[in-house]
Chains A and B, each alone.
Chain A
Amino acid sequence: MTIQLDENYYRMLTDLQAADFVLVELTLYLDTHPTDRAALQQFNDFSMKRQKLAYEFQLAYGPLTQFGQSGPPQNSWRWAQDPWPWQV
């Protein structure tokens, strides 16, 4: 199955990148502010949100991670198919 790099693909990808960016920022912040309860709560909220976005993206466009770490079960091996991140 060939991936269509349409509007939907880029919208779902950007949604995930935005949520993941918040998680990267909060991760580094929590590394030096481990007692900030509000930041931890926000981290947990975004982590849930991220899982949902990643699951939906992977249902549509194939796995994001390998070694069995990606969300939905797979009925064909889509991991090694293009496009790769630098190609989109």
Chain B
Amino acid sequence: MWIYEKKLQYPVRVSKCDPHMAKLLIEQYGGADGELAAALRYLNQRYTIPDKVIGLLTDIGTEEFAHLEMIATMIYKLTKDATPDQLKAAGLGDYYVNHDSALYYQNAAGVPWTAAYIQAKGDPIADLYEDIAAEEKARATYQWLIDLTDDVDLQDGLKFLREREIIHSMRFREAVEILKCEREAQKIF
């Protein structure tokens, strides 16, 4: 079971109405290396991974939902009160015609989220290496997003999220090290 907590993990601020930046940020909402893909990937891999790393996948997967809410908050604030004309000028005319300013799980190019973005291979090493790669790809995406905005408040939140990718990558690599040392269990057989 999951319990929702009525607060953000990090105090998200944006300092200007900028629907074009929202269009780019949606990459981390419904893109291949975004927070939804991350959360679903980790929580789903838990069922077929050695017990020693299930806790880590549970906790990181849960934190990813907090990050998904941070991205949603950024998009919400960047587009709130924007007029249809402003959205159109920001390249969101085709988005508006389908969604108004509702959030939708798609990437920055408009491609809807798909389960094909994530894998569950059943091999713990293959799955953890995918997780490590996912964290590094998300880190890179945050870097390119930071490059594309001059809003220091938004950069602040994106830098927090980028740092979290670094920590998650560290923990997944530790999980690989833990599994490499799993020889004790062989004595049971």
Contact = CB atoms under 8 A, between A and B. Distances in A.
A and B touch in the complex (CB under 8 A): yes
B59 A85 contact: no
Contacts of A66: 3-4
B162 interface: no
B55 A85 contact: no
B8 A17 contact: yes
At the interface, is chain A mostly helix, strand, loop or mixed? helix
B51 to A, nearest CB: 12
Contacts of A77: none
Contact of A65 (B5, B56, B63, B171): B5
Contacts of A79: 6
A85 B3 CA distance: 15
Interface stretch (B21-29, B31-39, B72-80): B72-80
Interface residues of B, number: 27
Contacts of A13: 7, 11
A58 B9 CA distance: 16
Q: How large is the interface on A (under 10, 10 to 19, 20 to 34, 35 or more residues)?
A: 20 to 34
Given A24-B9, A24-B63, A86-B72, A32 B3 contact: no
Interface of A: 10, 13-14, 16-17, 20-21, 24-25, 27-29, 31-33, 62-67, 69, 79, 84-86
Interface of B: 3-12, 53, 55-56, 59-60, 63, 69, 72-73, 76-77, 167-168, 171, 174-175, 178
29 contacts: A10-B11, A13-B11, A14-B11, A17-B7, A17-B11, A21-B10, A24-B59, A24-B63, A25-B167, A28-B63, A28-B167, A31-B55, A31-B56, A32-B174, A62-B6, A63-B6, A64-B7, A65-B4, A66-B4, A67-B3, A69-B3, A79-B6, A85-B6, A85-B8, A85-B73, A86-B8, A86-B12, A86-B72, A86-B73
